Amino acid sequence: MEKAAAIRDGYGKGLLKIAEDADVVVLDADLQDSTRSLQFGEKYPERFFTMGISEADMVCAAAGLASQGKKPFASSFACFLVRRAFDQIFVSVCYSKMNVKLVGSHAGLATGEDGPTAQEITDIACMRALPNMVVLVPSDAIQTEKAVTALYNHVGPAYMRMSRAPVPILYDDSHVFEIGSGYVVREGSDAAIFACGTMVSESLKAASTLESEGIKAAVINMSSIKPLDKELLLKHARQTKAVVTAEDHSIIGGLGSAVEEALNESEFFLPVQKVAVKDTFAESGKPEELYRKYGLSEEHIVSAVKRAIGKKALRH
């Protein structure tokens, strides 16, 4: 098994797993090599559509195919798919309740040297605000592969977010992905870190550092942002009374906001320490450099956990 791989690498493999269904069709906006949808296209060219640099057209074509009983997966870079085709996603997919699966690759500061216009940090907020839309952010290549099967079995609009930078492999082939479920990847009783995507691995590093200081932090992979696993969230919030969220996304509207909303709705109010991009554009650079500069690295998660534990002590 690979020790590290890009999260996007699981997408092409996942498509091949569901390809026996002749109704599965795949569309891409001229980025099929980067998104890994090309793996499907090379084997099933008659069901693969390269739409060119035309994301809005791709989304509408996918919706049209879905209206005729096909099961389309449409992919591009997250920055292009979400920002350039938002109205088409809103009207033709979500409002129309079309069975279209949208896949945005190269999301977050982990996109690195491509710069701030390509480092999509608002897509989770945009997509989870849409009625009828499912939002997934898998944490490694294997979970991405399994998520494709879950999306195939789900009927309705969905968005899956992927990243480019290699991350450690956390799961094996026995992993079962369920929409609406979170996954505990490390137990802990002093605090709970809810993370998604690349930040799950970063949170595990932080948890190891904290353990060396006598602090036991649980790490929960919230790969399903919408629907959110509220039962698992509340369980760990009540057990630890110290909650941290970690995401490679704007601090506004993403996983942290979803967790805060769920806690508020539960009548179990608890302040949440959010590790995320602080309402700013970043710059070009290596992912690890950007994570350090913009507050997403292991040490920032460690500090957030300590703040959460400190606030717990104040409440007592």
> Cβ–Cβ contacts within 10 Å for residue 173, how many?
8
Residues 130 and 188 in one domain: no
Question: Is the pTM here over 0.75, yes or no?
Answer: yes
Counting as low any pLDDT under 70, the low residues of the chain are 1-2, 313, 316
Per-residue pLDDT at 1: 40
Point out the catalytic residue in the list 2, 42, 46, 55: 55
Domain residues for the domain of 154 are 4-168
Q: Clarify whether residues 144 and 11 are in a common domain.
A: yes
Q: Do 203 and 153 have their domain in common? A: no
CA distance 67 to 72: 10
Residue 316: what pLDDT? 58
Render pLDDT for 233-269 as a digit per residue (tens, 0 to 9). 999 999 999 999 999 999 999 999 999 999 999 988 8
Nearest to 34 by CA among 106, 137, 141: 106
- With respect to residue 208, please indicate whether it lies within any of the assigned structural domains: yes
Residues 234 and 116 in one domain: no
Question: What is the secondary structure of 141-183 as a DSSP string?
Answer: HHHHHHHHHHHHHS-S-EEEE--SSEEE----TT----TT--E
For the chain, the domain total comes to 2
Same domain, yes or no, for 191 and 300? yes
Q: At residue 29, what is the residue type?
A: A
∠ Cα 187 189 194 (to 5°):
60
CB 287 within 8 A of CB 110: yes
Query: Are 159 and 11 in a shared domain?
Result: yes
Whether residues 31 and 115 share a domain: the answer is yes
How far is residue 230's CA from residue 43's CA, in Å, rounded to a whole number? 40
pLDDT, position 101: 98
Q: Which of 107, 141, 168 is the last residue of a domain?
A: 168
Q: How far apart are CA 65 and CA 79, in angstroms?
A: 23
Residue 151 lies in a domain: yes
Domain assignment present for residue 59? The answer is: yes
Residue 93 lies in a domain: yes
Query: Is 211 part of the annotated catalytic residue set?
Result: no
Q: How far apart are CA 102 and CA 53, in angstroms?
A: 16
Same domain (yes/no): 260, 134: no
Same domain (yes/no): 250, 227 = yes
